[in-house]
Amino acid sequence: MCPNPRFPKPSDRGFRRQTDYNPLMWDEFFAEKKDVETKQGKFRVYLSGPTEPGAPLLVLLHGGGFSALSWAHFSKEVTKLIHCQCLAFDIRGHGDTYTEEEDDLSAERLATDVGDVMQVMYGESAPPIILMGHSMGGAICVHAANMFVLPSLIGVVVIDVVEGTALEALASMQSFLRSRPTTFKSIQHAIEWCVRSGQVRNVESARVSMPGQIINIETKQLATNELPLPADSAAEEKLEFKLPNAIAEDAESGDNASTSGSDDPSITPPATPPATTSVNLRKYAWRIDLSKSEKYWEGWFSGLSQKFLDIHVPKLLLLAGIDNLDRALTVGQMQGKFQLQVLARCGHAVHEDRPHEVAEVLATYLIRNRFAQPTTDGQFLRHMPAC
Q: What is the mean pLDDT of each run of 10 residues along the chain (387 residues)?
A: 44 61 97 97 97 94 97 97 97 97 96 98 96 98 98 97 92 94 96 96 97 97 94 59 45 38 41 45 92 96 96 96 84 94 92 96 96 80 56
Does the domain spanning 26-180+296-374 belong to CATH 3.40.50.1820? yes
The catalytic position among 67, 160, 293, 353 is 160
The catalytic position among 135, 209, 258, 293 is 135
Contacts of 56 (CB under 8 A, 6+ apart): 84, 85, 127, 128, 129, 130, 154, 155, 366, 371, 372
383 among known catalytic residues: no
Check residue 386 and give its pLDDT: 54
What are the angstrom distances between the C-alpha of 170 and each of 173, 292, 327?
5, 13, 19
The catalytic position among 94, 134, 189, 348 is 348
Check residue 71 and give its pLDDT: 98
Contacts of 127 (CB under 8 A, 6+ apart): 54, 55, 56, 57, 85, 152
Check residue 18 and give its pLDDT: 83
What are the angstrom distances between the C-alpha of 212 and each of 72, 95, 134, 136?
11, 5, 16, 17
- Is residue 215 within 8 A of residue 223, CB to CB? The reply is yes
Radius of gyration of the chain (CA): 22
186 among known catalytic residues: no
Q: What are phi and psi of 155, to 5 degrees?
A: -165, 155
Q: Record the pTM.
A: 0.84
Check residue 345 and give its pLDDT: 85
Check residue 230 and give its pLDDT: 87
143 among known catalytic residues: no
Residue ranges of the domains in the chain?
26-180+296-374
Closest to 43 (Cα-Cα) out of 128, 112, 107, 106:
112
